Amino acid sequence: GQQLNQSPQSMFIQEGEDVSMNCTSSSIFNTWLWYKQEPGEGPVLLIALYKAGELTSNGRLTAQFGITRKDSFLNISASIPSDVGIYFCAGRITSGSRLTFGEGTQLTVNP
Amino acid sequence: NAGVTQTPKFQVLKTGQSMTLQCAQDMNHEYMSWYRQDPGMGLRLIHYSVGAGITDQGEVPNGYNVSRSTTEDFPLRLLSAAPSQTSVYFCASSFPGAGVQFFGPGTRLTVL
């Protein structure tokens, strides 16, 4: 099946720091999604990207759809303790609904 | 709207037992899917459905059955539970071709 490589696997940062994570694929995707999962909950959509080169923000979060269509990036600025969770990227390769997920980035924010 | 609901929240089974994980959505989404989440492996697709009466296998279908008799419900059946099926199971739904999927709260399953 399709492979999405997400990095880093985990991050331990101080409150106020900026965070960057990314996903890469050997295949071209036509949609990139970023989800956040908090303990005991299901993933919740943060940002959806539909065009190569697209840069979209949601508050302190900014995500980009890579020009090659094989990667995507998520940045979190001025992190706060409630940013703690697992962040997943997901890609869609066709016009259908099936998604492929990255392994996740576990973010820990120290106050 | 309740969104995507899953029951039970937690379940413990013995090896060889069978059970059904329930999933329902009230958003009139045609596409529904089941994932399992294991540490360090992200979300892996088990089965999916593009509409009532239509189901297909995902990445890790072995040991699981599904059916889709209505648009709202998409149950996942474990016919003979194995310890390797210990995992957290998520159901998700979306409009077809929309890309964005909405997830339920998950069922944490332990097979002893």
| Per-residue model confidence as pLDDT tens digits over B16-73 | 999 999 999 999 999 999 999 998 788 999 999 999 999 999 999 999 999 999 999 9
Distance from CA of B96 to the nearest CA of A (A): 6
Binned at pLDDT 50, 70 and 90, residue A93 comes out as confident
Enumerate residues 6+ apart whose C-beta is below 8 A from B62.
none
Residue A3 pLDDT: 74
| Backbone phi, psi, residue A95, to 5° | -80, 0
Residue of A nearest to B57 (CA): A98
Give the pLDDT confidence score for residue A95 in this predicted structure: 67
Determine if residue B83 is left, alpha or beta; phi over 0 gives left, psi from -120 to 50 gives alpha, anything else beta.
alpha
Residue in B100, B102, B107, B108 to test binding to A, most A beta-carbons within 10 Å: B100
- CA closest to B30 among chain A residues: A97
User: Across-strand partners of A33?
Assistant: A48, A90
Q: What local confidence, expressed as pLDDT, does residue A1 receive? A: 52
Q: What is the pLDDT of residue B48?
A: 95
Higher pLDDT, A3 or A6: A6
User: Per DSSP, which regions of B1-112 are E strands?
Assistant: 4-7, 10-13, 19-25, 31-37, 43-51, 54-57, 64-66, 76-78, 87-94, 102-103, 107-111
User: B107-111 and B10-13: which strand pairing?
Assistant: parallel
- Burial B37-68, CB ≥16 within 10 A → b, else e: beeeebbbbbbbbbebeebeebebbeebebbb
Query: What is the mean pLDDT of the segment spanning A60-73?
Result: 96
Q: Is B94 on the interface with A (CB under 8 A)?
A: yes
Which of A47, A93, A97, A106 is the best residue to mutate to test the B interface, defined by the most B CB atoms within 10 Å of its own CB? A97
The residue of chain A with its CA nearest to that of B103 is: A42
Q: Looking at the predicted structure, is the pLDDT value of residue B104 above 90?
A: yes
